[in-house]
Structure 1
Amino acid sequence: MTVVTQEAGAPFGAAPPSGDSAIVTRGLTKQFRGGQIAVDALDLTVPRGSVFGFLGPNGSGKTTTIRMLLGLVTPTAGEYSVLGLPLADALPRVGALVEGPAFYPYLSGEANLFRFDAADPTAPGGTAKRRVGEALERVGLSAAAGKRFRNYSLGMRQRLAIAAALLGPRELLILDEPTNGLDPQGTREVRALVKEIAADGTTVFVSSHLLTEVEQMCTHAAIMRTGNLVAQGTIASLNGGLATRVRVETPDVADAARVLGTLGLADVRTADGGAASVTAELGAQAPEDINAALVREGVAVRGLAVVRPSLEDVFVGLTGEGFDVDG
């Protein structure tokens, strides 16, 4: 799917090349009436075969971006490419779940999928029964196929929605907040399912405001804030932008800080609020050597831990704000 839009007075440009990318955007912008800019000049690259986390607080522009990629919202400016194909050819290869599942509550899961399939003009009717059965099996709902949707748990409902997106062969699966509102068990079910789908070669694009979920599920991520792209890359590269730290739990905070400084550790900090701990950048020091040095100096070590940076740390480091801030 390729779309090129034009700002007033600006020349048209070529659509961005797709290459090994499932999604490419260049300068993608959406401004609503009243001047509100929901997405501001977004440059995004989603590699084929990745599980790509699209992160941001509620209101950061994630759903608006997805709607533009699916042709549901017209961009104000910019360009994008999905699978490098024209719209009519791309859409049958894209499965999507946007803003939660919507099914008939009095129909069974299987009957709902037949209705979804019948509404797709590109779906071959002669294979509907086989494809519905395969989709239910793939998401682990074969045993509940005849159960009414209203009696499904939240996790089962999300899995049925993903099954609806997988009724045909898909090169790209776009999921908007697939774990939103789920209990821990439902979240684990959806997470495991996403990994299984990706293992079969489908690129999965997952929007979420839950950083820990993306860290456990995704290979790549992009972070949004108030319509702007803050960072993007592999999970390892994003986390690697911040230093790994060591945290020492001790009642001898001042002495511990002195010893860490003597060892050459950078950015030594004592905890706020009187907590009995001190942290520093780990650098090239081995944690066991740090522990031994503290003990030799008479510091009472209650605990020592290596703290690796998380995506939340990355977000706070880039914006200075917590991830619960609404855009």
Structure 2
Amino acid sequence: MTREAGAPFGAAPPSAGAAIVTRGLTKRFRGGQVAVDSLDLDVPRGSVYGFLGPNGSGKTTTIRMLLGLVAPTAGEHTLLGLPLAGALPRVGALVEGPAFYPYLSGEANLRRFDAADPTASGATVRRRVGEALDRVGLGAAAGKRYRNYSLGMRQRLAIAAALLGPRELLVLDEPTNGLDPQGTREVRALVKEIAADGTTVFVSSHLLAEVEQMCTHAAIMSTGRLVAQGTIASLSGGQVSRVRIETPDPAGAARVLAALGLADVRATDAEVTAELGGHAPERVNAALVGEGVAVRGLSVVRPSLEDVFVGLTGEGFDVDG
């Protein structure tokens, strides 16, 4: 069955169920190595879902199981509320980086990708390839050879290949890996645009800052196990915000903060920090000024995903890649 010529470009019509559900998903390799251990994921529709963990934590193995590239040892999963065979035509994916013919143009490469899709209609290939290139901002570079593309352009072309047909779910494995800051910003903006059109985006990364800026939800992996998942706000909500006071009188500021009941007061030569708890920062500032403590600056330090990860696992995290 082929796609109809008039089929709209973008997200596919929604099917029932969550975007991704896994229950007890496990992968053991020879020798007893457990790459993924009893994974229970719940990915809401319409979310940009960050699948977060250090390199080697099981992210790519999980994605390969989700897409049917690797058979799980145990457990089960569904995509879009459908069996895998029924879901895959609605799913676009980029796994472990793009692979294209270097001497062909971006447009010619996409035509080859499209020709490998048995559901694609040859009558609409030109329109669909053009729409995919425009969608990722490569319309003007359609005739340029792939070997002359920047790293950011190459990643965008790979995403265009995943969007040649209407997609309800887009799975991206480390889409900003190896990119310079400009390329990273390009891919981040593109992911947000795709999600705004109604496509659920599942994106794996080992870069915490990227997930915080790009995603609405996240799951945190450590050595093959899921240690937390939820909205970005709820994951950070388990950690206590701290207030940071810049002052020439750290001893006086520490005394005022302790008198207010703030916990874990820490003073250095130029600043004081403490757990903010339920105290309003403006009232903390008023109390300091009222006691004659000079305040050069006051800021509230919100917990990051790195703080959450360290708090859950006691381990460091490769935040720079």
TM-score w.r.t. structure 1 length? 0.89
- For residues 150-174 of structure 1, the C-alpha deviation after alignment (integer angstroms, 9 at most, x for no partner) is 1001110000000000000011000
Q: Deviations over 1:77-122 (max 9, x none)?
A: 1111111223332111100000000000100000000010111122
Equivalent in 221, 230, 236 of residue 224 of structure 1: 221
Deviation of the 1:289 alpha carbon: 2.5
Question: Does the residue aligned with 2:171 lie in a helix, a strand or coil?
Answer: strand
Identical-residue share of aligned pairs (%): 86
Query: In the alignment, which residue of structure 2 is the partner of 1:11?
Result: none
Q: CA deviation digits over 1:134-163, x for unaligned, max 9?
A: 000100000000000010011100000000
The equivalent of 1:67 in structure 2 is: 64
Post-superposition offset of 1:49 = 1.1
Matched, 1:26 2:23: yes
For 2:171, the equivalent position in structure 1 comes to: 174
Question: Distance between the aligned counterparts of 2:91 and 2:81, measured in 1?
Answer: 12
From 305, 308, 314, the equivalent of 1:311 is 305
**Which of these residues, 66, 76, 91, is aligned with residue 88 of structure 2?**
91
Deviation, 1:251, is: 4.2
19 and 314 in structure 1: CA distance in 2 versus 1, 3 angstrom threshold: farther
SS at match of 2:230: strand
* Paired letter, 1:55: L
Q: 1:38 aligns with which of 35, 38, 42?
A: 35
Amino acid at match of 1:265: L
Q: Deviation digits for residues 227-276 of structure 1, max 9, x if unmatched? A: 01010001111111112210112343333222101011122233xxx563
Number of the residue aligned with 1:214: 211
DSSP-derived class of the 2:263 partner = coil
How many residue pairs match? The answer is: 305
- Show CA shifts across 1:192-215 (max 9, x none): 111111111111000011111111
Distance in 2, Cα, partners of 1:153 & 1:292: 52
Letter in 2 for 1:303: G
Shift of 1:318: 0.8
- 1:223 is paired with a residue whose SS is strand
Shift of 1:311: 1.1
Unaligned runs of 5+ in 2: 1-14
How many Å separate the matches in 2 of 1:291 and 1:85? 55
Counterpart Cα distance in 1 of 2:314 and 2:88? 39
CA contact (8 A) 2:310 2:316 kept: yes
Cα distance change on mapping 1:317 and 1:19 into 2, 3 Å: farther
Aligned to 1:9: none
Instruction: Give how far 1:19 is off.
Output: 5.4
Distance 1:187 1:98 in 2: 17
Partner of 1:57: 54
Paired amino acid for 1:281: E
**One-letter amino acid of the structure 1 residue matched with residue 78 of structure 2:** S
Bigger drift between 35-44 and 277-286 goes to 277-286
Aligned in 2, Cα 1:109/1:269: closer, same or farther, shift over 3 Å? same
Q: Which amino acid is the alignment partner of residue 252 of structure 1?
A: D
More moved, 284-293 vs 47-56:
284-293
1:55-134 correspondence runs (5 A): 55-134=52-131
Give 3-state SS (helix, strand or coil) of 2:264's partner: coil
Q: Matched residue of 1:267: which SS?
A: strand
Counterpart selection for 1:143 from 120, 137, 140: 140
Aligned to 2:262: 265
With over 3 angstroms needed to count, the CA separation of the structure-2 counterparts of 1:80 and 1:275, relative to structure 1, is: farther
- Aligned equivalents of 1:98 and 1:279: distance in 2? 43
Shift of 1:299: 3.2
Q: Name whichever of 189-198 and 274-283 sits farther off.
A: 274-283
Match of 1:14 in 2: none
* Runs of 4+ with deviation above 4 angstroms: none
Give unmatched runs, 5+ long, in structure 1: 1-17
**Higher deviation after alignment, 226-235 or 312-321:** 312-321
- CA drift of 1:126 comes to 1.4
Mapping for residues 158-173 of structure 1, pairs under 5 Å: 158-173=155-170
In 2, the alpha carbon distance for the partners of 1:275 and 1:189 equals 41
1:277-292 pair list within 5 angstroms: 277-292=271-286
Range with bigger deviation, 311-320 or 167-176 = 311-320
What is the root-mean-square deviation of aligned Cα atoms in Å?
1.6
Q: Does 1:186 align with 2:183?
A: yes
* 1:22-76 deviation digits (Å, cap 9, x = unpaired): 1100110011111111100000000111110000011110000000000001111
Q: Does 1:294 align with 2:291?
A: no
Q: Report the residue type matching 1:98 in the other structure.
A: V
